[in-house]
Amino acid sequence: MKKIGVFVCHCGINIATNVDVAHAARQLAEYPGVVRAEHYQYMCSDPGQNLIKKSIEDDELDAVVVAACSPNLHLTTFRRAAQSAGLNPYLLEEANIREQCSWVHDDREKATAKAIKLIQAMVEKASRNIPLIPVKVPVTKKALVVGAGIAGMQAALDIANSGYETLLVEKDPSIGGHMAQLSETFPTLDCSQCIMTPKMVEVAQNPLIKLHTYSELEEISGYVGNFKAKIKKKARSVDMEKCTGCGDCWTNCLVRNRPEIPEVPSIAPAIEKELLARLDEIIGKYEGGEGVEIPILEDINSEFNYLPKETLLYVAERLDIPVSKLYEIATFYNAFSLEPRGKYTINVCLGTACHVQGGARLLERVEEDLNIEAGQTTEDMNFSLETVRCLGCCGLAPVVTVGDDLYGKVRQVKIPTILKKYKGG
């Protein structure tokens, strides 16, 4: 049978207040296998550690149990002391009678009984322990980060900047995650792309980061420091060296989507002759060139002050392109509108500089004076109210535009005067 020593700590008054440590030591002295049972004010102190060392040498102990605070705090301390006295450090165990006993009980008698049972359980464990020898295992100095959202990209950069090769796996074709899909971010309301793009470029250009986009982690095995990962790379059918990031492959992928496209009847018969003639005139100016969609939509928007649905359908038919492409343009650029706009469009800038200088309060004042909200038009079709994220003149913040006129360093009291110039005009 192993010879075991038990040492119970008072921890000042932390344990001794609710646990009778002297009684606990006396009870453990009679427990099978225990040849030494002591109690001391602070076992973690130098005198306390010396008490353990001396007993190991004098009593030729085969194992030690220390009843004290959490092992997270001082288990390493006590094991070092045991090792210095010639005992294998893994033959020392610690029973937590502070956090798990003294601190959570008020009844001293019951707390003492519980402490004794905790110590006895640890004595049983110590009696079954065998000496262990630490081994060193080589570590693969690489890291795997799964998910290339903003958190994954930052983690990969932090690891790579510390000098370690990093594999960054993303299931989608592009990095950026959900944040890249947001139109604006809190609290400055800046566009997410303005924040994300530099980070995405930094990740892509870092020589220690190897990107695996459109890939998934299929299997992982091994242990800490030596994991093996199996990454499944999905087929792209795209020459990556020639890829420009246009996104057409994703939109038109026949593997993802095989729609049955019915023959679409011409929109022309449903359009009035005068409108049809004007549209033909506008389209005729640009037809045959490349990238003509935006200038055509600009002319139509200028003609009608918005983009009527039937005009988009007709332009798509004439140019032989998906109408969705025109809607992408029309909804991306703030200059276009799918709803009838007033004679004058008021733009209140809410970019960072204007936001700091009170842009939100200007918007509230305009809404109050015109009795409309952002995105709406007055009943007399004179004003439409919009918000923008940047007008390119941050030095004049806060900025408001009415039609083609720009007003800088605007204060709330100036709003009625500005609007008066355009009312009834």
The strand pair at 400-402 and 165-169 is best described as unpaired
- In whole angstroms, what is the distance from residue 422 CA to residue 420 CA? 5
Mean predicted confidence (pLDDT) in 88-117? 97
Q: pLDDT band for position 249 (50/70/90)?
A: confident
Distance CA 422, CA 381 (A): 12
The most confident of the ranges 218-227, 272-281, 333-342 is: 218-227
For residue 404, CA distances in Å to 121, 300, 320, 338 come to 83, 18, 34, 20
- Written in H, E and C, the secondary structure of 404-421 is CEEECCCCHHHHHHHHHC
Which class in CATH covers the domain with range 4-128? Answer: alpha beta
Note the pLDDT of residue 266: 58
HSE of 296, CA atoms in CB hemisphere, 13 A: 26
Pairing of strands 209-212, 63-68: unpaired
Residue 13 scores a pLDDT above 70: yes
In the predicted structure, residue 105 carries a pLDDT above the cut 90? yes
pLDDT of residue 82: 97
Q: Give me the pLDDT at residue 205, please.
A: 94
Cα 153 to the center of its chain, rounded Å: 9
Query: Could you tell me what percent of the chain has a pLDDT over 70?
Result: 95
Class of domain 344-420: alpha beta
- DSSP element (H, E) containing 201: helix 192-205
Tens-place pLDDT, residues 306-336: 888 888 888 888 888 888 888 888 888 777 8
> Residues 107-113: what's their mean pLDDT?
97
For the stretch 124-173, pLDDT in tens is 999 999 999 988 888 899 999 999 999 999 999 999 999 999 999 999 88
pLDDT at 259 over 60: no
Q: What is the pLDDT of residues 371-385, one digit of tens each?
A: 988 888 888 888 888
pLDDT of residue 42: 97
**Burial grade of 275 (CB within 10 A; 0-12, 13-18, 19 or more):** middle
Mean pLDDT over 237-246 rounds to 75
**Which CATH fold topology does 142-233 show?**
FAD/NAD(P)-binding domain (3.50.50)
pLDDT for the residue numbered 44 = 96
Cα 163–chain centre separation: 23
Buried-state track 361-377, b at ≥16 Cβ within 10 A, e below 16: ebbebbeeebebeeebb
Instruction: Answer yes or no: is pLDDT of 293 > 90.
Output: no
Please state the rounded mean pLDDT for residues 14-31.
Answer: 96
